Chain A
Amino acid sequence: NAGVTQTPKFRVLKTGQSMTLLCAQDMNHEYMYWYRQDPGMGLRLIHYSVGEGTTAKGEVPDGYNVSRLKKQNFLLGLESAAPSQTSVYFCASSRQGVNYNSPLHFGNGTRLTVT
């Protein structure tokens, strides 16, 4: 059981380039999330989805877009990368909204550097 899989693991972009981060989960979870982790800031929510075909903004959505065309996949796009988007990106999923019976399951992260 793979759980939550993120691709790629590492990426270096130049300012202005675009890219898509892919997240796939095989647990049939309804909810999926994209977080970024920066030193001293913890994990901050970028966008999330409560089901196939839905997306919603999190705490820091600017500069990112997302899509959830299939239940198992959640894509994070950067249309024009900026150095401020240098970060480690984590995808997570949960069976339903976070509660006692539905903790977040995280992928192993994508380390993105924008030069």
Chain B
Amino acid sequence: DQQVKQNSPSLSVQEGRISILNCDYTNSMFDYFLWYKKYPAEGPTFLISISSIKDKNEDGRFTVFLNKSAKHLSLHIVPSQPGDSAVYFCAALPLYGNKLVFGAGTILRVKS
């Protein structure tokens, strides 16, 4: 059973609009959450993270929101750019753990 779920396999957004990628988790012991971005034929690269003591973390066009009571986090990209087209993985780390648990990924396509 997947502990980290990204229920939308793909998302298509117009350039300049907001992209919202969602992630749900089941393990209440997860303490730290990350988003990775992956281009074809490349490895994932770290994008942004959030600790469970926060509900929002912002870095330029990227903002991650965490709703602990709903066990839900989301990544907002504003404004979306064609270069943002990639696979986005949500990942979670348990308290006192050192092994990330990844979601299945969401393919984002930003149309120009």
The 0/1 profile, CB within 8 Å of B marked 1, for residues 8-40 of chain A is 000000000000000000000001000100001
Give the Cβ gap from B22 to chain A, nearest Cβ, in Å.
15
A-B contact pairs, 5 of them (CB 8 A): A42-B102, A43-B44, A44-B102, A104-B100, A107-B43
User: B36 to chain A: which residues have CB within 8 Å?
Assistant: 104, 106
- Residues of B near any A CB (own CB < 8 A): 2, 4, 6, 9, 32, 34, 36, 41-46, 49, 51, 89, 91, 93, 98-100, 102-105
Contact A40 B49 (CB under 8 A): no
User: A97 to chain B: which residues have CB within 8 Å?
Assistant: 98
Within 8 Å by CB of A109, from B2, B43, B91, B102, lies B43
User: B51 to chain A: which residues have CB within 8 Å?
Assistant: 100
Q: Is A7 an interface residue (CB 8 A)?
A: no
Q: Is A69 an interface residue (CB 8 A)?
A: no
User: A84 to chain B: which residues have CB within 8 Å?
Assistant: none
User: In which size bucket is the chain A interface?
Assistant: 20 to 34
Residue of B nearest to A50 (CB): B98
Contact B89 A43 (CB under 8 A): yes
Contact B104 A108 (CB under 8 A): no
Question: A66–B10 Cα gap in the complex (Å)?
Answer: 34
Give the Cβ gap from B93 to chain A, nearest Cβ, in Å.
6
Question: A42–B51 Cα gap in the complex (Å)?
Answer: 22
Q: Restricting to A68-115, which residues have a CB under 8 Å from any CB of B? A: 90, 92, 97-100, 103-109
User: B4 to chain A: which residues have CB within 8 Å?
Assistant: 42
Within 8 Å by CB of B43, from A4, A44, A103, lies A4
Give the Cβ gap from A35 to chain B, nearest Cβ, in Å.
8
Question: A31–B105 Cα gap in the complex (Å)?
Answer: 24
User: A42 to chain B: which residues have CB within 8 Å?
Assistant: 2, 4, 6, 89, 102-105
Contact A103 B49 (CB under 8 A): yes
Question: A41–B1 Cα gap in the complex (Å)?
Answer: 11
Question: A35–B99 Cα gap in the complex (Å)?
Answer: 11
Contact B102 A90 (CB under 8 A): no
Q: A98-B93, A103-B49, A106-B43 are in contact. Are A41 and B104 (CB under 8 A)?
A: yes
Question: A98–B44 Cα gap in the complex (Å)?
Answer: 15
